[in-house]
Amino acid sequence: MTTTDDFATYVASLPRVLAGAAALYRDADGRVLLVEPNYREGWALPGGTIESDRGESPRTAARRESAEEIGIDVPLGRLLAVDWSLGAGRPPLVAYLYDGGVLDAGQLASITLQEDELLSWKLVGPDELTHYLLGPLGLRAQEAYRVLESGEGTVELENGRRPVNR
């Protein structure tokens, strides 16, 4: 066996982690844009899986997914949150959440849903995020919104919550 084969065997033995990226878009009143998937319960932020096998970065994935899902393709702002999320029945997920910026009335009116994945979209107040976004996603979105409001730097999360100092 060659060193290359040894390395390939080693890499194949490593644990798997899922990676996703999304954007937090807002309107002029500070409401957050949510989308309603047809393949699972609850609402979501525009975003999805990072196609790392194609060399896609988290930022590129969030922008691509937004363009595919809602027809909005704008440069994304800063990274607001990174979340390590454990879930039943799936590998751990590392989720990146970017500032999508404030969408004007024209951009909101131009939203075109990806019909094979999404049923609808809506704008909700930041205090409603955990009502529509289930589990860690709602907590992640709330923390990211807080970061935007406070001007704080990127926040590190575990299952949507700030880790307790150990």
**Average pLDDT, integer, range 40-67:** 96
Look at residue 71 and tell me if it is in a domain: yes
Q: What is the DSSP letter of 161?
A: B
Mean pLDDT of the chain: 94
Residue 1 is predicted with a pLDDT of 55
Count how many domains the chain has: 1
Query: Binning pLDDT at 50, 70 and 90, where does residue 79 land?
Result: very high
- Is 10 domain-assigned? no
Side chain identity at residue 106, one-letter code? G
What predicted TM-score, i.e. pTM, was given to this entire model?
0.92
Look at the chain and count its residues: 166
Residue 8 lies in a domain: no
The CATH number assigned to the domain holding 111 equals: 3.90.79.10
User: pLDDT tens digit string along 114-145?
Assistant: 999 999 999 999 999 999 999 999 999 999 99
- Cα 94 from chain centroid (whole Å): 9
Q: 164 lies in a domain? A: no
What is the extent of the structural domain holding 31? Answer: 16-158
| CB-count exposure of residue 159 (10 Å: 0-12, 13-18, 19+) | middle
Q: Which of the two residues, 164 and 109, has the higher pLDDT score? A: 109
Q: Which residues lie across from 44 on neighbouring strands? A: 35
What's the rounded mean pLDDT across residues 49-77? 96
Residues 6 or more apart from 62 whose CB is under 8 A from it? 21, 22, 23, 46, 47, 76, 96, 98, 100
Task: Work out the pLDDT band at 166, boundaries 50, 70, 90.
Answer: low
pLDDT, one tens digit per residue, over 7-17 is 888 878 887 88
The answer to whether 46 and 120 have CB atoms below 8 angstroms apart is no
Q: What is the mean pLDDT of residues 24-40?
A: 97
> How many Å apart are CA 95 and CA 116, to the nearest integer?
23
Quick check: is 103 in a domain? yes
CA distance 144 to 133: 13
Given a contact cutoff of 8 angstroms between Cβ atoms, the answer to whether 58 and 21 are in contact is: yes
